[in-house]
Amino acid sequence: MQSGRLLAAGVRLKDGRVLVCGGYSPHGPALASAEIYDPNAGTWSATSSMNDARYDHRAVLLDDGRVLVTGGRNDTQGDSLGSAEIFDPKAAAWRRAAPMRQTRDAFALARLPDGRVLAAAGYGAVSGKGTALAEAEIYSPDSDAWQETAPLDEPRTSPAVATLPDGRIYLAGGSDDGRALQETVVFDPLGGTWRPLTPLLEGNEWPRAVALADGRVLIAGGYQSGRMLPNAELEDPATGKMTKTGSIGETRYAHALVRTGRFIGLLGGEMPGRALSSTSVFEPATLSWRSGPQLSTGRAYAVAIPLDESRVLLAGGGLGNAYANNTSEIVDLAEQPDVAAPKTTPAIALTAQPPQAQEHPSLRFASKGPQRPDDYAVVVGVDRYKSLPDAEFAESDARDMTAALEALGVPEENVVVLSGARATLSEVSKYVEEWLPRRVSKDSRVYFYFSGHGAPDVSDGTAYLMPWDADAAFVKSTGFPLSRLYQALGELHVTSVVAVIDACFSGAGGRSVLAPGLRPLVTVRLPKSPPPRVAVLAAAESEEVAGSLPERGHGLFSYYVLKGLSGAADAKDAGHLTLRQLHAYVRKHVILDARRQNREQTPTLTAPNPSLELY
């Protein structure tokens, strides 16, 4: 292909060619361009571009052979799109269609038996704020108009969708405000109504579904609260029976699940830190999976289009916000796996070199300058607490932050790392309130980093950092008050202090906890402002939840702080980075990724000198 694409849309045209349009590259804007693959010639060719650039949109083939494309997002305001357009393959041209009544991305789009098109659920963001959607509407190609239809009982983002043999539309799982949903429903186009079916055995935030010829529906892949789900489920809408299948092999999400004439294949996807090149093939007779042919490269968020009885075209994809492939390949699900060589056929020679690595490399931190012998750091990370729920990936955050700080010039011997069970209240207090004052000088810069749980005192809203041995029922005596941290850092006689806090204090989940039985109806009282010389970069606003990024193996906020420090925030490659630049980079990416998780998270910076150069 001419462009690398993630979250593009694709449709097999009536003449057998494949249209792929839109998407985005992590290093560029949303795309309006479109390309067509000819299976007979094995070549890609450019066609006219859409009117609107978009990604995470949906496309469907209309009865007359044209293609409807609608919804998605662009890069201007981070808003969901309601615009729609129609591609005419004969004229190789796009024209605008009536816009949806509800802007949406990450939604379900399916053609109904009478030629109309159903759009349902998804995520709707306007002016930077959004929520999961329950609204549904139907497009009529004859009248070029959308009409409201019955909404779902529960809003959901990124549900699995499948068209049943009788023409009804099946939805399963998805998420609502970060909660993994179990509910499955079916839409009856004759009555314009939704009917609940048997729930999934486990809530699933990002499943895929495909209908079998006998009317049963296979649901596979996805995750729940960051935990990848190893099994698939098979639902019979006629009887309401839900059955668990065998293991799918490597757990994954952002994968493809497709049915060819004779096979059902699960292809590519992501698991924490890497794109997958493995595939699995489902055997309905035994409810089991066998290994399929290996892909030529790892692909998540790829376009997957069945071509015939056994072959599937995979185009683009890559790894989240790391890279996008411009390559494509044809996978033959009839082939048995061969460990010596992948059983896939490149669809076209490359027009540009793809990334050489098939996995997302670990964050690397090259030295940003000479060592600064007077600088010090205290790094705290706790993901497995003594008596609190896990704070996923916090110790990985601390490990990589240590490497980042050493790349900024902090000598290894000047960095104290309190990780896991070592991060007790007494140890945190000792190194912040006694070790640092004894070591620093007027020429020092001090860094403090914390990744783990925060908690509010329900009696007065005071914010606490929670060390490894903290007890949410006794937060005043076992937590470390944020105000106490700021006071200790402010009393240091140094040139500057930078504190980075990946925790939240709302009590509403994520990296925040409350005592059992309490509800998060707490007005959090954060310290009014840090003392002079102390800058604080924090993961979220007081009422928000700080979450994780399972596919990266880090906290969401920490990942982008680390990536920014590795050089990504230096957009002009000027060789220096200020606090303001780092915050702008982190804020942009955290807001977008949090909204993809159907929630809000807004990193904040409070700094006496936002122009302070980190390197």
Cβ neighbours of residue 51 closer than 8 Å, sequence gap 6 or more: 32, 83, 85, 94, 96
Say if CB 416 and CB 431 are below 8 A apart: yes
Q: For residue 488, give the nearest of 476, 478, 497, 501 by alpha carbon.
A: 497
CATH class of 376-546+601-606: alpha beta
Q: State the pairing for strand pair 376-381/415-419.
A: parallel
Per-residue exposure over 205-220, b if at least 16 CB sit within 10 Å of its own CB, e if not: bbbbbbbbeebbbbbb
- Cα separation, 118 vs 25, in Å, equals 28
- What CA dihedral angle connects 551, 19, 334 and 204, to 10 degrees? 30
Q: State the pairing for strand pair 256-259/108-111.
A: unpaired
Give phi and psi for 563, each to the nearest 5. Answer: -65, -40
Say if CB 565 and CB 602 are below 8 A apart: no
Q: For residue 365, give the nearest of 552, 501, 567, 555 by alpha carbon.
A: 567
pLDDT of residue 321: 60
Q: For residue 436, give the nearest of 502, 492, 519, 370 by alpha carbon.
A: 492
Q: Is 43 helix (H, G, I), strand (E, B) or coil?
A: strand
Say if CB 255 and CB 266 are below 8 A apart: yes
Q: For residue 172, give the nearest of 143, 146, 147, 202 by alpha carbon.
A: 202
Angle at 245 between CA 319 and CA 216, to 5 degrees: 95
pLDDT of residue 361: 37
Mean pLDDT per block of 10 residues along the chain (615 residues) reads 92 96 83 95 96 96 97 81 97 98 96 96 82 96 97 96 94 91 96 95 94 92 84 90 91 94 92 87 88 94 94 90 85 73 42 32 69 94 87 89 93 90 93 95 96 84 90 90 94 96 66 40 55 92 83 91 92 86 95 87 93 93
Domain boundaries, the chain: 1-148, 376-546+601-606
Pick the CATH number of 1-148 from 3.40.50.1240, 3.20.20.70, 2.120.10.80, 3.90.1150.10: 2.120.10.80
pLDDT of residue 518: 31
Give phi and psi for 455, each to the nearest 5. Answer: -155, 145
The yes-or-no answer to whether 1-148 and 376-546+601-606 have a common fold is no
How remote is the C-alpha of 199 from its chain's centroid?
24
Answer whether 0.85 is exceeded by the pTM: no
